[in-house]
Structure 1
Amino acid sequence: MSTVTIEPWGEGDLPILELSNEPAMMQHLGGPEAHEKLLVRHARYLDGWASGTSFMFRIEADGEPVGGIGYWPTEWHGEQVYETGWSVHTAHQGHGHGTSSLLLVIEHAARHGDRDALHALPRTDNRASNAVCRKAGFRLLGEVDDEYPPGNPIRSNDWAFDLRTRRAG
């Protein structure tokens, strides 16, 4: 079994976004993005750390970058929560890296965050991401209408994790 770690997103992590932008990996996310959009996303990830508004990480398995994961504050059904999302490169899927990194994000959000819930909203037909949620201990709240990217309607599963269960006393 690989040792999975998460490291704060850095200047040199643009290639992770580029590898994640292949058609097979973007099939549940509206298709590949233009390179200019990847540059904007990369800058947003860096700015999130600098401003404390979002927390994106590089996923590493035995020291090798294999994808990205993070969480950010949002409002969901009138509640202030965090949302999470991830991407594990095709060559590294099926080895538990998504679940392992999500468990690390849960711990980070519980330790450093100020919100009580972490939500994930994978499309209902994204079997792998739904399995990651289940394995990481999220509770399925049901199906919801969503948009991703904005303007592209999708049907998602709403998974939630109660971060209070991971906080000390």
Structure 2
Amino acid sequence: MRLEPWSEGDLGLLRAANAPELMEHLGGPETEEQVLARHLRYVALSADRTGKGRMFRIVLLPGGEAVGNTGFWESAWRGQDVYETGWGVLGEFQGRGLAAAATRAVVERARAEREHRFLMAFPSVGNGASNAVCRKVGFELLGESDFEYPVGHTMRCNEWRLDLEAE
């Protein structure tokens, strides 16, 4: 597995990741307009070199097939500037450890920015797979909170934190 910067050509991957079973814990599938807007945000974030974050496609080796997405971006958490992360792996590629491997790679990319101390993840309390990724990668579970995502939809999330200054 390797990470490659998100690009204009990745819209099809984002559409594939918008499947109901993959969006179950995120408020359901987005409209085409929302997918296009997300894609443009991902492209812009990947082109920005100011430490605000990056988005990536997850590429399966050796064949080079795009199987998901991940990244990190600036966010505010409890009055503190942090990075936030998230990921998604297409259904037929789940269960192979790709999300954990991609998240470990994102941790290293965020750490290299030396911009924020903490990397946060907010998976739904009901998303066992994403919570397992956080555990495997070494995030610390801080507790539960209500999180608005997408806008207008409140979900109960676990707050996971990883100290980027710790080695």
TM-score category, normalised to shorter length: over 0.9
**Secondary structure in structure 2 of the residue aligned to 1:21:** coil
Equivalent residue for 1:158?
159
- TM-score, normalised by the number of residues in structure 2: 0.95
2:30 to 33, 38, 49: 33
State the Cα deviation string for residues 77-98 of structure 1 (Å, max 9, x = none).
Answer: 0111000011100000000000
Q: What are structure 2's unaligned runs of at least 5 residues? A: none
**Secondary structure in structure 1 of the residue aligned to 2:100:** helix
State the Cα deviation string for residues 79-120 of structure 1 (Å, max 9, x = none).
Answer: 110000111000000000000000000000001240000000
Write the mapping of 1:135-146 to structure 2, written as runs, cut at 5 A. 135-146=136-147
**Equivalent residues of 1:45, 1:54 under 8 A apart:** no
Equivalent residue for 1:94?
95
Equivalent residue for 1:56?
55
Q: Structure 2: how far apart are the matches of 1:102 and 1:38? A: 22
**Equivalent residues of 2:53, 2:83 under 8 A apart:** no
Paired residues, number: 163
Q: What are structure 1's unaligned runs of at least 5 residues? A: none
Instruction: Quote the RMSD (CA, aligned, Å).
Output: 0.9
State the Cα deviation string for residues 21-73 of structure 1 (Å, max 9, x = none).
Answer: 11100100111111121111111111112234331000011121110001101
Q: Structure 1: how far apart are the matches of 2:89 and 2:114? A: 24
> After TM superposition, what 4+ stretches of structure 1 lie above 6 angstroms from structure 2?
none
Equivalent residue for 1:46?
43
- TM-score, normalised by the number of residues in structure 1: 0.93
Deviation at 1:126, TM superposition (A): 0.2
Aligned AA (2:141): L
